[in-house]
A and B are shown apart, each in its own frame.
Chain A
Amino acid sequence: MRARLPKDAAALALGADAVAAALTKAAAKRGIALDLVRTGSRGLVWLEPLLEIETGGGWRSFGPLVPGDADAVLDGTSPKALGDIEEYPWLKRQTRLIFARCGTIDPALPPSFAGLKRAREIGPSAVLEEVTKSGLRGRGGAGFRQASSGRARPRRARRGNTSSATPTRATAAPSPTAC
């Protein structure tokens, strides 16, 4: 059974580790193979520790849990059942971009770098094309479009390193006068 339980500081401060231990024990007692992923919090701190388990009918959430809730959660009799947390009004009306996966993945797992791999495959011009479409802007305060800044970089940087995922600053050839 796949399950998610946060391990960020707030969840830990609210006893998430003790809840995880109780769940593991309760699952073992029932012969359930528990695949518990420790995630970041979705931010509904008043419901932490907030557990999500995968059922035949989708993901179901429970919270705020204490270790004593583990048996009822697994038996489907917990009064702390919240349904699918992604349908919870507070969460549903939000559009999450940077934190879209926070709550569903273990942030401490090594990244797959799938995006970097793809960027290397499609090459610098296609990367610039995507960055243009995204409308991404620099963080310097002037609001320059990241794509413009990428295009403004000297071409030799791209020529010299065609597999570069991001157009990087050109490295000048060592000057004979440089010490």
Chain B
Amino acid sequence: MASSAPFDIDIARGIVSRFAGMPGGLLPALHEIQKSFGHVPRAALKVLAAGFNITEAETYGVASFYHDFRLDRPAGRHVLKLCRAEACQAVGAGALAAHVKEKLKLDWGGTTADGEWTLEPVFCLGLCACGPSAMIDGEVHARLDDAAIDALVRP
């Protein structure tokens, strides 16, 4: 799904310089960084801090507040987010999650050894009337059961 070129400080500086003068430019800059490198590496936080004239702690604070910014490493080729919120749990999301974990041999936040799948929890996709629901590479799927998820997730 995401490209993940190795971190390049010149590319990062170029991105930051495009957004540094913009009010509220930190978030779009973070998005661009993640788009380019598949995640927001520590070195990028330093470049952001310098470019926006804020502390590195502040860039870390913003980036870590949003779960969709990946701070440690790029995601797998596909990202499967399973809804863990109440409405989905009430209609079997727990059993579905157990099935997916077993199938992919993953725990939350993990990526398969071949780099194909990353499994993440998500708290509400707004599909409470038709759970259990999931998002795969940005597309939503609902009313899922083991068979339906097996058809979507082929390891």
Q: Which residues of A contact B (CB under 8 A)?
A: 9-10, 12-14, 45-46, 48
Contact = CB atoms under 8 A, between A and B. Distances in A.
Interface in B127-149: 127, 129-130, 133, 139-143
A14 B143 contact: yes
B130 A45 contact: yes
A48 B140 CA distance: 14
B126 interface: yes
B140 A13 contact: yes
B129 A45 contact: yes
Given A14-B142, A14-B143, A9 B127 contact: yes
A116 to B, nearest CB: 30
A contact face: mostly helix, strand, loop, or mixed:
helix
B130 A12 contact: no
Nearest to A43: B129
Nearest to B148: A15
Interface of B: 125-127, 129-130, 133, 139-143
Most-contacted residue by chain B among A10, A14, A46 (CB, 10 A): A10
26 contacts: A9-B125, A9-B126, A9-B127, A9-B140, A10-B127, A10-B129, A10-B130, A10-B142, A12-B139, A12-B140, A13-B125, A13-B127, A13-B130, A13-B133, A13-B140, A13-B141, A13-B142, A13-B143, A14-B130, A14-B142, A14-B143, A45-B129, A45-B130, A46-B129, A46-B130, A48-B130
A120 B130 CA distance: 44
Most-contacted residue by chain A among B133, B141, B143 (CB, 10 A): B143
Given A10-B129, A10-B130, A13-B141, 7 more contacts: A9-B127, A9-B140, A13-B130, A13-B140, A13-B143, A45-B130, A48-B130
Contacts of A46: 129-130
A45 B141 CA distance: 13
A67 to B, nearest CB: 13
A45 B133 CA distance: 13
Contacts of A13: 125, 127, 130, 133, 140-143
Contacts of A10: 127, 129-130, 142
A51 B139 CA distance: 21
Contacts of B125: 9, 13
A161 to B, nearest CB: 30
A9 B130 CA distance: 11
A10 B125 CA distance: 10
Contacts of B139: 12
A10 B133 CA distance: 10
Nearest to A12: B140
A48 B139 CA distance: 17
Nearest to B143: A14
Contacts of B140: 9, 12-13
A45 B126 CA distance: 12
